Structure 1
């Protein structure tokens, strides 16, 4: 089933108990994908404002989704802090999880 929405390219991330949908937010040129984690939309914000847009690599530590990305410095992998945001469900939603 293909669902069209206005937030950009949809993809999925594998977390131990299943696949979770993600969506790129076109409203921010530097936006990283937002992920629907158990009914809550979250996205990692840029830790360094001067970084160019990069394809992030995600880690899940069992509680939080953490994004890392290669910066121009190449000295290490910057870690992006996790921010919560309210977004409409892009593909489907569980009526019992409305906030």
Structure 2
């Protein structure tokens, strides 16, 4: 079973309204670096099992691009209390993802 959950823009908006701490990856089916990085995000999710990890397809949810002012993918954005805290732009390996994500407080799953 996947640890990283696929969500829609409406799900994302609900997370912001609930002021959750979470990690989201913005990706697209055509994005080769996104496909290579997906297993790293999944592994980070499993290792940091106290964090909520989500992914959202930018082609299926174009509103996210404008809302978050995203001009390139893959993009991992960390939110604390529903506020954008930090982000990773472009391709990153597992160690880098874990290093950055572990710096934010995670809600208990």
TM over 0.5: no
Judging by fraction of residues, say which structure has more helix. 2
Q: TM-score, normalised by structure 1?
A: 0.30
Larger radius of gyration: 1
Structure with the bigger RCO (C-alpha within 8 Å, sep 6+) is: 2
Q: TM-score, normalised by structure 2?
A: 0.28
